[in-house]
């Protein structure tokens, strides 16, 4: 309505970036100050500990965290890239990675990795691959998350059902969801939310379908549709709230408030779940139930270096350190996220003994990497508007999925042509 | 926003046609006038006109996500015209426009009620009505989302007393546009109220007294005195209101979550522009879309100026 807001945002972003990015450079003492861009305030304490350890080993380098809220992280980063004030090292995710790599704004790391023997093979292969573009590695993973089945033991006890375990299939979920649904108490068995990372993609892969393979969309594939029908069917039968209700109180919040008995959710949510007293007491975690096959989605963040940084040598030292065992162990102890370095996850698992966190680690075996392409956001933006009706109990998932598949293919073609 | 000069300008626009008196072009008076508008003109040139020209140029280019652009001719315009989401967004925007205009009749009625002789505490009422307009749209959007909440919102609670079924107002595709439109009307009424109150004040009390002596009731007085004499102000307000509603963005951005199933049914043209430019890195196409919107606004405004001759009375 009032134009000022949009204009103000556009003007403020580069200004902010200019203010915060200007502090770098080598000062008189020969000390190099790196800026490190990230978005998650929950991880600041852990990152500060890692930085302290790094600075101890590299007394001539200091690292300063540059925190930008998630909502404006990518627009700010893009604008500051244009203005040449981007942080030297920053967090990257799968959705944005190929866009940055293809535009040449990231420093290639393959040469450095070889020279310094960075332990890349100690990180999950699927994750490392997410951050290579046309055979060149541009980012090194720092953490990962998988999706697991969270359940409420108290609600299961009340309904007299045994807890989910590794033997569970989708049929078991359906049977349990029917039993656990209690309209009088407004409790639902499951939260079949319209969410690509934690619900739709795992269901598609569990049905042996795919989201994106060889530059083609898998949404029109019969197996993928089966996977999505597993979700929408539970909405149609009343075992899950419809999406229209979950816009206002999301599945996660419903699980917190014990109004949903089973929910697929990220391992990264463990810390927050642990902070809810009732859930710490009777929240349970199992591996995702088996559809046609076992599957979950793995995603993780990587550290990347800006190609425009004038302190690349110091920046690489930091990224190399972050990919090593010592940094991973500090991060795992901080509890906010799973370190991706092999064998360092114990500290994370032990930080919340009441939860069966090892399930999240075990799922790595069959985890499918988060699908992405150069312009991921373009086809991701097609999904929710097209699938919304089917996830609101209005039916028609087959047609919606096929339309989505066609439109996504068109977007992918445009991406190749550009 | 200054109300009086604008109203006067609307009046002057109508009057210049009938009376060509006043200063001649090039007279000393007029030259000094240029100095007075220079500061505003400079700001306008730097912050509006120059970006406008740039946007026009960029609309013919493909814009890189990290800067740099290549000229591609009219491809962006073809993309805009062929994209169904553009037409859907344009349709939604026109609905917002129609709903947004509802703020005018509400404001007129309230303004004439507040103009009654002997009414006390007028400034308190005026402030109360004006507060929503000066409240941050973010705060407005968040609070209304709570009111509309399907599970524990006040709206459902109140409607429940009358036996209505609960509804997820902002996530039901059939109600979401109207739910947002209602908030738009609610938050802008106060602004138009202030404009109309100024307009109503400009109507001489003698007319009302004379009409009252002739036995005209309050309704008759409203329709034969207030409304016709207020028509220049109504015209000005309707132009402003239409332009504002066609550019609606922030409230929708705040109220509609990404996973809202009604998102396609509520997206405005500026909302789509934002998505293209800042999320999908299609700045060139976004610039073309912005120009299309400008043309629509210009056409509708021109239409309003044409039609006003038939219903606006310049007393």
Please give the helix or strand (H or E) that residue B70 lies within, else none.
strand B69-71
Residues 6-25 of chain A whose Cβ lies under 8 A from any Cβ of chain B: 6
Q: What pLDDT digit, counting tens, does each position of A102-152 carry? A: 999 999 999 999 999 999 999 999 899 999 999 999 999 999 999 999 999
| Binary contact (B264, A391; C-beta < 8 A) | no
Q: Which domains does chain B have, with CATH numbers?
A: 82-307 (1.10.3720.10)
Which residues of chain A have a CB within 8 Å of the CB of B187?
1
> CA A190, CA B274: separation in Å to the nearest integer?
35
Residues 103-122 of chain A whose Cβ lies under 8 A from any Cβ of chain B: 103, 105
What is the predicted pLDDT for the residue at A114?
Answer: 95
Q: Best interface-test mutation with A: which of B61, B259, B268, B286 has the largest number of A CBs within 10 A?
A: B259
- Three-state secondary structure string covering chain A: CCCHHHHHHHHHHHHHHHHHHCCCEECCCCCEEEEEEECCHHHHHHHHHHHHHHHHHCCCEEEEEEECCHHHHHHHHHHHHHHCCCCCEEEECHHHHHHHHHCCCECCCHHHHHHHCCCHHHCCHHHHHHCEECCEECEEECEEECEEEEEEHHHHHHHCCCCCCCCCEHHHHHHHHHHHCEHHHCEEEECCCCCHHHHHHHHHHHCCCCCEECCEECCCCHHHHHHHHHHHHHHHCCCCCCHHHHHHCCHHHHHHCCCEEEEEEEHHHHHHHHCCHHHHHHEEEECCCECCCCCEEEECCEEEEECCCCCHHHHHHHHHHHCCHHHHHHHHHHCCCEECCCCCCHHHHHHCCCCCCHHHHHHHHHEEECCCCCCHHHHHHHHHHHHCCHHHCCCCHHHHHHHHHHHHHHHHHHHHHC
Q: Best interface-test mutation with B: which of A248, A382, A411, A415 has the largest number of B CBs within 10 A?
A: A248
ipTM value, please give it: 0.81
A334: distance to nearest CA of chain B, Å?
A: 31
Neighbour count for residue A65 (Cβ, 10 Å):
14
| Binary contact (B261, A391; C-beta < 8 A) | yes
CB B169 within 8 A of CB B155: yes
A78: distance to nearest CA of chain B, Å?
A: 6
> Band of the pLDDT at A21, cuts 50, 70, 90?
very low
Q: What is the mean pLDDT of residues B251-279?
A: 93
Residue A209 vs residues A198, A406, A412: alpha-carbon distances, Å = 16, 16, 18
| Binary contact (B261, A389; C-beta < 8 A) | yes
Name the residue among B137, B172, B278 with its Cβ closest to that of A75. B278
pLDDT at residue B14 greater than cutoff 80: no
| Binary contact (A381, B275; C-beta < 8 A) | yes
Question: What's the whole-model pTM score?
Answer: 0.85
Q: What pLDDT digit, counting tens, does each position of A232-287 carry? A: 999 999 999 999 999 988 999 999 999 999 999 999 899 889 999 999 999 999 99
More confident residue, B120 or A213: A213
DSSP state of B61: E
Q: What pLDDT digit, counting tens, does each position of A138-167 carry? A: 999 999 999 999 999 999 999 999 999 999
Q: A41 — phi, psi (to 5°)? A: -65, -25
CB A147 within 8 A of CB A197: yes
Which residues of chain B have a CB within 8 Å of the CB of A391?
261
pLDDT at residue B12 greater than cutoff 60: no
> CA A6, CA A37: separation in Å to the nearest integer?
24
> CA A348, CA A338: separation in Å to the nearest integer?
6
What is the predicted pLDDT for the residue at B25?
Answer: 58
Q: What pLDDT digit, counting tens, does each position of A345-365 carry? A: 888 898 889 999 999 999 998
> Band of the pLDDT at B315, cuts 50, 70, 90?
low
The number of C-beta contacts closer than 8 angstroms across A and B is 103
Residue A163: both structure tokens together:
């807890």
> CB distance from B132 to chain A under 8 Å?
no
Name the residue among A3, A105, A248 with its Cβ closest to that of B168. A248
Give percent of chain A with pLDDT exceeding 70: 93
């Amino acid at each position: 309505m009032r134009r000022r807001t949009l204009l103000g945002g556009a003007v403020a972003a580069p200004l902010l970036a200019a203010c915060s990015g200007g502090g770098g450079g080598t000062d008189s003492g020969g000390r190099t100050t790196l800026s490190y861009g990230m978005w998650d305030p929950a991880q600041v304490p852990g990152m500060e500990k890692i930085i302290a350890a790094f600075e101890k080993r590299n007394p001539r380098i200091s690292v300063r965290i540059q925190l930008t809220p998630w909502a404006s992280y990518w627009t700010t980063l893009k604008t500051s890239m244009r203005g040449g004030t981007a942080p030297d090292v920053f967090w990257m995710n799968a959705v944005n990675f190929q866009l940055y790599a293809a535009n040449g704004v990231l420093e290639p790391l393959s040469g450095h990795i070889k020279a310094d023997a960075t332990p890349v093979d100690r990180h999950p292969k699927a994750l490392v691959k997410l951050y290579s573009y046309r055979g060149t590695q541009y980012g090194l993973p720092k953490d990962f998350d998988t999706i697991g089945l969270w359940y409420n033991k108290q609600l299961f006890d009340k309904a007299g059902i045994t807890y989910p375990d590794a033997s569970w299939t989708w049929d078991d979920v359906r049977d349990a969801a029917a039993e656990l649904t209690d309209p009088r108490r407004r409790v639902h068995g499951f939260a079949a939310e319209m969410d690509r990372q934690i619900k739709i993609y795992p269901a598609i892969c569990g049905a042996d379908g795919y989201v994106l393979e060889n530059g083609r969309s898998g949404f029109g594939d019969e197996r993928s549709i089966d996977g999505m029908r597993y979700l929408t069917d539970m909405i149609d039968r009343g075992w899950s709230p419809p999406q229209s209700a979950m816009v206002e109180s999301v599945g996660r919040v419903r699980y917190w408030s014990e109004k949903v008995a089973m929910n697929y959710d990220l391992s990264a949510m463990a810390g927050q779940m642990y902070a809810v007293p009732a859930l710490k007491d009777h929240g349970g975690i199992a591996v995702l139930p088996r559809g046609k096959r076992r599957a979950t989605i793995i995603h993780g963040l990587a550290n990347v270096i800006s190609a425009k940084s004038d302190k690349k040598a110091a920046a690489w030292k930091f990224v190399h350190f972050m990919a090593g065992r010592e940094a991973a162990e500090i991060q795992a102890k901080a509890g906010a996220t799973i370190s991706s370095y092999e064998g360092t996850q114990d500290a994370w698992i032990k930080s919340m003994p009441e939860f069966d966190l090892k399930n999240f680690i075990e799922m790595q075996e069959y985890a499918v990497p988060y699908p992405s392409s150069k312009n991921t956001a373009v086809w991701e933006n097609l999904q929710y508007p097209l699938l919304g009706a089917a996830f609101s109990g209005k039916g028609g998932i087959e047609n919606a999925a096929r339309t989505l598949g066609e439109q996504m293919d068109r977007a992918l073609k445009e991406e190749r042509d550009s | 926003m200054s109300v009086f000069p604008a109203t006067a300008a609307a009046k002057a626009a109508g009057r210049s046609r009938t009376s060509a008196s006043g200063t001649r072009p090039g007279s000393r008076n007029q030259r000094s006038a240029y100095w007075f508008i220079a500061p505003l003109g400079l700001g306008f040139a730097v912050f509006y006109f120059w970006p406008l020209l740039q946007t026009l140029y960029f609309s013919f280019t493909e814009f890189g996500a990290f800067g740099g652009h290549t000229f591609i001719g009219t491809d962006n315009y073809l993309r805009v015209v062929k994209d169904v989401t553009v037409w859907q967004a344009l349709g939604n925007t026109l609905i917002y426009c129609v709903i947004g205009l509802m703020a005018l009749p509400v404001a007129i009625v309230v303004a004439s009620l507040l103009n009654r002789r002997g009414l006390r505490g007028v400034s308190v009422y005026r402030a109360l009505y004006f507060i929503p307009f000066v409240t941050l749209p973010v705060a407005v959007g968040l609070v209304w989302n709570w009111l509309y909440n399907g599970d524990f919102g006040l709206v459902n609670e109140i409607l429940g007393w009358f036996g209505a079924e609960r509804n997820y107002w902002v996530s039901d595709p059939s109600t979401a546009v109207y739910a947002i439109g209602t908030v738009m009307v609610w938050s802008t009424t106060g602004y138009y109220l202030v404009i109309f109150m100024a307009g109503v004040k400009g109507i001489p009390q003698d007319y009302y007294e004379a009409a009252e002596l002739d036995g005209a009731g309050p309704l008759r007085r409203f329709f034969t005195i207030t409304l016709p004499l207020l028509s220049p102000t109504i015209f000005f307000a309707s132009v402003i209101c239409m332009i504002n509603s066609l550019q609606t963005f922030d409230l929708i951005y705040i109220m509609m979550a990404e996973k809202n199933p009604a998102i396609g049914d509520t997206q405005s043209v500026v909302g789509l522009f934002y998505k293209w430019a800042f999320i999908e890195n299609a700045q060139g196409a976004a610039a073309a879309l912005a120009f299309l919107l400008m043309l629509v606004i210009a056409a509708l405004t021109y239409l309003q100026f044409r039609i006003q001759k038939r219903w606006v009375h310049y007393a």
